Amino acid sequence: MQDTLSQTFSALADPTRRAILARLRHGEASVSELAEPFLGQMTLPGVTKHLKVLEKAGLVTKGREAQWRPCTLNAEPLNDVAAWMDEYRAHMEASLDRLGEYLKTVTKTVTKTTPPSAPTTSPDSPDDHHG
């Protein structure tokens, strides 16, 4: 049997399942509402299977009403993921620092190779053309 944290990570390891969760962030939805955007790429039973994985992991809860059984997001398992991630905080920050240093080097190189009279718009100049 899979441990709870592995089950959560496993459930999140799929773009369709993450898209379903993203939809549920905006409120509850029926199975057919959730399935609709995916029916071009997969069948309704295909989507239902993904939903079952999310339900088993406790990330989605289904209402008990006989006719309309709305699916709801349950973010509780994500708190365990966050707690697990906390132990890696220092390493994550170090890797962001390294990325920052790298980007600084790249920016310097780009600035040096771009001629000063290049007709590019400055990121500071206001853009009045909305839409």
Q: Does residue 12 belong to the site contacting its own copies (CB under 8 A)? A: yes
The enclosing H or E element of 95 equals: helix 89-113
> Hey, what amino acid is at 91?
H
Q: How far is the CB of 36 from its own copies (least distance, A)?
A: 21
Best CA proximity match to 4, nearest among 76, 72, 63, 52: 76
Q: How far is the CB of 62 from its own copies (least distance, A)?
A: 17
CB nearer to its own copies: give 6 or 109: 6
CA distances from 35 to 86, 113, 122, 127 (A): 34, 50, 44, 39
CB nearer to its own copies: give 44 or 85: 85
Best CA proximity match to 11, nearest among 76, 92, 85, 91: 76
Residues comprising the chain, all counted:
131
Q: Does residue 14 belong to the site contacting its own copies (CB under 8 A)? A: yes
Q: Does residue 99 belong to the site contacting its own copies (CB under 8 A)? A: yes
Binding site for its own copies (CB under 8 A): 2-3, 5-7, 9-10, 12-15, 18, 21-22, 25, 73-76, 78-79, 81-82, 84-85, 87-88, 91-92, 94-96, 99
